[in-house]
């Protein structure tokens, strides 16, 4: 179970109404029942139910069962698409172990707005599902141009572009160990201006994901898999 509260030996963790409903109403747990907790910072802890009520309750931590496992320093930048597909991208990025997930507005991005809190909740759920101890941060919608203007010095960018026929990720020289970001465009792809700008950046590596045009959500998963294979741990 994900909680926001700090975790540690003998630490009491108060539950929200929703958490109490889930543990005591849905899962039918009672006092003394064991629960595994994580908060994205302190690893996984074994706790037991010390107070159970309809509107709340308290768990008490006993011992740490797993240390915090940080993911590789990988960001996923993607242009938000239809709601359900955007949810899918966030969920899969959290499962694949992205450290940050950043929706970006490009020239051809249709959705001007995202629900950051909803997407963050999806990332938490995905981390819970796959037994992670870390929760990636989902950013607010950033303008791609502005992000590129303030780009961190040594972070490499895997710029996925279907126009780049045939150039797979080539990282022989020292890509491992560096921080990376993957960039996936919107359904309409990148504009010529964006393409020219991105291709000229010294930290950008233009990459093809194969000869077919993939949907943006498929492309995000394919790119993370490719990155994982070439550079991940
Ligand atoms: N502009 C295209 C069009 O309308 O024909 C489609 C863009 S595609 C649906 C969305 C994004 O997925 C692209 O901007 C790119 O980042 C990524 N993508 C899809 N297929 C790809 C491929 N074969 N190689 C690299 N990137 C790809």
Gap from CA of 189 to ligand 1 centroid (Å): 6
Q: Are residues 98 and 172 in the same domain?
A: yes
Q: Which of 152, 127, 226 is nearest to 184 (CA)?
A: 226
Cα distances (Å, whole numbers) of residue 6 to 67, 128, 169: 14, 17, 40
> Could you tell which of 92, 185, 187 is best to mutate to test the pocket of ligand 1, judged by most ligand atoms within 8 Å of the CB?
185
CA nearest ligand 1 atom 14, residue: 185
Asked if residue 117 is part of any domain, the answer here is yes
39 is in which domain, residue-wise? Answer: 12-66
The model's pTM: 0.91
Sign of CA dihedral 42, 45, 50, 52: positive
- Tell me the longest C-alpha to C-alpha distance in the chain: 62
**CA distance linking residue 164 with residue 76, whole number of Å:** 19
Q: Which atom of ligand 1 is nearest to the CA of 159?
A: 16
Are 109 and 80 contacting, i.e. CB atoms less than 8 angstroms apart? Answer: yes
Residues with a CB atom less than 6 Å from ligand 1: 160-162, 184-185, 187-190, 208-210, 212-216, 219
Residue 190 half-sphere exposure toward CB, CA atoms < 13 A:
22
**Any alpha helices (H) in the chain, and if so which ranges?**
17-20, 83-96, 116-129, 144-149, 192-200, 216-231
**CA 174 to chain CA centroid, nearest Å:** 25
Residues 51 and 32 in one domain: yes
Q: Check whether residue 135 and residue 171 sit in a common domain.
A: yes
- List helix spans (H) across 97-214: 116-129, 144-149, 192-200
222 plus 161 within the same structural domain? yes
Q: Is the pLDDT of residue 168 over 80?
A: no
In Å, what is the CA distance from 183 to each residue of 203, 205, 225? 12, 10, 14
**ipTM of the modeled complex:** 0.97
Beta-sheet pairing, 34-38 with 44-52: antiparallel
Higher pLDDT residue, 127 or 111?
127
Report pLDDT digits (tens) over 55-91.
Answer: 999 999 999 999 999 989 999 999 998 888 999 999 9
Name the band, by pLDDT with cuts 50, 70 and 90, for residue 132. Answer: confident
157 falls within a domain: yes
Instruction: Name the residue with the closest Cα to ligand 1, atom 6.
Output: 189
Instruction: Please check the confidence at residue 92 and state whether its pLDDT lies above 60.
Output: yes
Q: Same domain, yes or no, for 119 and 217?
A: yes
Q: What is the mean pLDDT of the chain?
A: 92
In-domain check, residue 1: no
Token pair of 124 as six digits: 């938490």
Q: What is the CATH number of the domain that holds 54?
A: 2.40.240.20
Number of domains within the chain: 2
Please indicate, yes or no, whether residues 59 and 103 belong to a single structural domain of this protein. no
| Distance in angstroms (rounded) separating the CA atoms of residues 200 and 192 | 12
Q: What is the pLDDT of residues 212-221, one digit of tens each?
A: 999 999 999 9
Same domain, yes or no: 171 and 115: yes
DSSP string, 39-64: -SSS-EEEEEEEEE-SS-EEEEEEEE
Which sign does the torsion angle of CA 66, 71, 77, 81 carry? negative
């Amino acid at each position: 179970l994900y909680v926001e509260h700090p975790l540690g030996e003998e630490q009491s963790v108060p539950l929200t109404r929703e958490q109490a409903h889930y543990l005591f109403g849905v899962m039918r747990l009672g006092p003394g029942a064991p629960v595994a907790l994580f908060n994205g910072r302190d690893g996984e802890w074994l706790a037991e139910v010390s107070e159970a009520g309809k509107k709340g309750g308290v768990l008490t931590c006993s011992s740490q069962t797993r240390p915090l496992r940080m993911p590789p320093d990988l960001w996923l930048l993607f242009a938000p698409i239809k709601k359900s597909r955007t949810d899918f991208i966030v969920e899969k990025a959290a499962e694949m172990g992205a450290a940050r997930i950043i929706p970006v507005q490009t020239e051809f991005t249709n959705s001007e707005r995202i629900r950051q809190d909803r997407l963050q909740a999806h990332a938490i759920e995905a981390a819970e599902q796959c037994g992670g101890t870390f929760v990636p941060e989902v950013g607010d919608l950033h303008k791609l141009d502005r992000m590129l203007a303030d780009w961190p010095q040594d972070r490499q960018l895997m710029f996925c572009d279907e126009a780049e026929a045939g150039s797979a990720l080539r990282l022989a020289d020292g890509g491992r160990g560096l921080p990376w970001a993957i960039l996936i465009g919107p359904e309409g792809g990148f504009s010529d201006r964006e393409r020219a700008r991105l291709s000229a950046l010294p930290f950008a590596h233009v990459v093809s994901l194969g000869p077919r045009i993939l949907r943006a959500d498929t492309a995000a998963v394919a790119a993370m898999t490719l990155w994982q294979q070439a550079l991940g741990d």
